[in-house]
Every structure is written in structure tokens, then in C-alpha cells.
Structure 1
Amino acid sequence: MPATQFSTKERILGAAEELFAQQGFSGTSLRQVTTRADVNIAAVNYHFGSKENLVNEVFRRRMDDMSTQRLSMLRSAREQHPGALEPVLAAFVEPALALAGDRNGGGAFIRVIARAYAEKNDGLRAFLSERYGHVQRDFARALGACLPGLSKEELYWRLDFLAGALTYAMADFGLIKRPHGVDEDTHRRRAASELIRFAAAGMRA
């Protein structure tokens, strides 16, 4: 793809991500996106075709890489530490927290995820389920192998709670803020470690 096309597409995605984070999906118009990105509406139609496709692409450009990292770490965890719970949890948690720490728009994307939880958008939910549902299922199977005493219903409840706690940690809404003098990477690793310990205890309960 020529550099000009790439930069135009990325500008549109960046503008959409910021506006979706601030105003939500229904509260953001394509006109606002084009104004923020300094492009015309034809550019949005050319690259995405519709607002729905633009919303999906905002998620895809971040979540494809995160999902690939999660599945790679999950394979390693199962090969190197068969039956061990914490490495499976680390494979789920650490790539997501790394995404949250991405200085190139990671914070805005986390707020977009929060919007997806808060707003009823059936098209987006269907897209996310179709594209990333296999990741959730792979982790459910791996966790089930570590916790054979749990029923499928119990397992999915706990995986849901883990996803909620992880989203909260990614958004940095909590009481624990990065201490003065501690760099972002160190703080994120501490957050991952504490969440994995917490999740492991909850999963085993």
C-alpha cells in the first residue's frame, strides 16, 4: 500500500479511536471523524465502506496482534508448564496490559473497550465474537484442563470475572496508581503479577 494511503487510513483510525473513546459509537458521526482526521468523506468510504466497518477496524488493528500474542504465550505455557494455572493466566493478562501501556493510542483504545461494554451494539458484539471467540474458547479449554473440578458453567463465570477485572486494570481506574519514581513498564508488570495471583486464587476457590 502506498505511504499516502497508509497514512490516510491510519489518520482515520486514530481519529475514530479518539472520538469513540470520548463520545461513544452512536455519539460519533463520520463527519466528526473526517474533520478530526482532516480527510473527506470519500476517504472513509474508500477505506472502510461504512461506519460499522470503521468501528470493527478500530478493534481489529489492536486486537489481532494482542490475540496472536495471547495464543503464542498460551501454546508455550501448555508445552512448558502442563497443568499449571498461573502461566495460562499470564498468557491472558500480560498481552492485554501491554496493549494498555502502548503510548501510541493504547489508553484511548482501552476507553473504546469500556464503551463496547457499556453500549449495546449488536453488530460489534457479533464481529468480536466471530473474530475472537476462538481465543476465549482456547483459554477456557486450557483453564479447564488446569481446573478439572470446575463445571463448564463455573469456569465461564470465573473467566468472565477475570475479563472484567482485567479491563478494569487496563483502564487504570483503581485505587493503586503508579508510584512516583516507578516507570510504566515496572508498574504494569506489578499489576499483571497481582492480577494473576488474585485470579488464580479465585479460579481455584
Structure 2
Amino acid sequence: MGRPAHFSTKDRILGAAEELFAQHGFAGTSLRQVTSLAAVNIAAVNYHFGSKENLVNEVFRRRMDEMTAQRLQQLEAALRDHPGELEPVLAAFIEPALALAQDRNGGASFVRVIARAYAEHNESLRKFLSDHYGHVLREFGKALSACLPGLDKETLYWRLDFLAGALTYAMSDFGLIKRPAGASEATHRARAARELIRFAAAGLQTPAK
């Protein structure tokens, strides 16, 4: 099924690639499948992206740039309005990611793409994400360190790594807690964020031995 004509060619290719990567993984998706679903020819993919590797990177960039901007904006507000408070910093890290997962325009597909990235150990993608978004973790690490002066840097980064894993799991909505029948997605997401923030705060505040 092709993409609606009002989307740009580049957007149609990215949307098709995201959908196929979610279903079949990176290695299991061919450019021919992408061009077929996006209703474009291979020349369009080569023109906009140059290679399959770059197409993978751009699928991430399309989602991550917006989430990163929201995280850093919320972090800046947390540091300004709630200096020294842990939970507002955690909210800045967690809430934009859960909002992305609930995005009706392919958010669920992108979460599955993230899971594929973990499963396939794509080193090229890992380097791309580290180069472009590593600074975000460092900014949060710095902010969390200021809230947790008794925690050494190595322990802090272990715990931040665990938080990132728990957040990815929460984004997938694959766990034991399902959205109650009467609750809206926004209400369920807010509850998930609140519970994860409390959980993370308790873990981060545990004294290092």
C-alpha cells in the first residue's frame, strides 16, 4: 500500500522504511521493499539517502531530533525552576520519550525499531546515535550528579543505563500493566511516567556501597 501523495517523497520513504524495519528488522528489509511500499523508485532513495545505512540513520534522526529538543528544553526548565530537585530532571528524561511512543503517526512502529536496534547490535547505528545524541545523556548525567552529590560517576552511569532500559520497556507498553478500559492514552502515559519517575528516583538515591 503506497503512502498518501501529500507527504513528500522523503517522508514517504522514511515512513515506509520505519514500518518495514519494525516488522522485519534492518537486515531483513530490502530497499526494493521500501521503494514498493513508498511507491517510489530506487533512484529516489539514492537521491535522498545515498545508502541503506544512511536511511536507517535518518529513520532515527526524524524521531530523535524532536524528542531530544523536548528533553533538553524540559531539562533547562527543571534546572531553572526546581534547582537541586531530582524528580523534575527525571521527568524531563522520561516524559518526552513516552510521548513519542504514544505518537499516533508511527510512534509504536518506532518503538519496535528501537527494539530491533537492541537485538541486531547494529554497530554503525550505535555509532551514529552515540555521535549525535550522546551529549543528551551527558547533560542528564551532569544534572543528576548535581542532585546526587554522594554518588560517584561510575555508579551514576550504571543507574542511568538501567533507567534507559526501563524507559525503553515502558515505551513498548509490553509489560504487566495494560491501559485500563476507561483510561485515555494520555492518562495511562502520565501514570506510567509518574511511576517510573518514582522508581528511578528511589534507585538513584540508594547510597553506593
Structure 1 partner of 2:171 = 170
What amino acid does structure 2 have at the position aligned with 1:42?
A
Runs of 4 or more, structure 1, over 4 Å off, are: none
Structure 1 partner of 2:94 = 93
Query: For 1:48 and 1:5, how far apart are their aligned partners in 2?
Result: 20
Query: For 1:152 and 1:182, how far apart are their aligned partners in 2?
Result: 40
Structure 2 partner of 1:147 = 148
SS of the residue aligned with 1:28? coil
Give matches, 1:55-204, under 5 Å.
55-204=56-205
Which ranges of structure 2 fall in alignment gaps of 5 or more residues?
none
Structure 2 partner of 1:24 = 25
Shifted more, 90-99 versus 20-29: the winner is: 20-29
SS of the residue aligned with 2:114? helix
What amino acid does structure 2 have at the position aligned with 1:74?
L
Query: For 1:150 and 1:156, how far apart are their aligned partners in 2?
Result: 10
User: What percent of counterpart residues are identical?
Assistant: 77
SS of the residue aligned with 1:94? helix
Structure 1 partner of 2:49 = 48
TM, length-normalised to structure 1? 0.97
SS of the residue aligned with 2:180? coil
Compute the displacement of 1:15 (Å).
0.6
Structure 1 partner of 2:38 = 37
TM, length-normalised to structure 2? 0.95
* Partner deviation per Cα, 1:144-175 (whole Å, 9 max, x = no partner): 01001111110000000000000000000100
Compute the displacement of 1:36 (Å).
1.1
SS of the residue aligned with 2:33? helix
Query: For 1:154 and 1:19, how far apart are their aligned partners in 2?
Result: 38
Query: For 2:29 and 2:6, how far apart are their aligned partners in 1?
Result: 23
SS of the residue aligned with 2:108? helix
Query: For 2:7 and 2:24, how far apart are their aligned partners in 1?
Result: 25
**RMSD, aligned CA:** 1.1
Compute the displacement of 1:5 (Å).
9.4
Q: How many residues align?
A: 202
* Partner deviation per Cα, 1:102-151 (whole Å, 9 max, x = no partner): 00000000000111111121110110001001000000000001001111
